[in-house]
Amino acid sequence: MTTITLEVPDFLEENHSDTVRFLAAKLYESGKLSLGQAAEMAGLTKQTFADILADYGVNYINYSFEDVMADVARISK
């Protein structure tokens, strides 16, 4: 994993783990990271990370409406 330096307001550094978990959750939500990658970034197990996603307004299942409709069309054939 690569390390980057990010300048953030001081109050965010006071809650360092929460800030890292938030960033990992949002990167997972956007599809940039898998659940495992995001959990590793946050320093958590996959299960623990999945359990805290709702704390950051992120759904565990990232399934778009289009994905659902494509699956329905496949199943209907």
Q: Where are the domains of the chain?
A: 16-76
Quote the CA–CA distance of 52 and 54 in Å, as a whole number.
Answer: 5
State what percent of residues in the chain have pLDDT above 90: 55
- Maximum pairwise Cα distance, the chain: 56
Residue 1, pLDDT > 80, answer no
Q: Does residue 67 or residue 54 have the better pLDDT?
A: 54
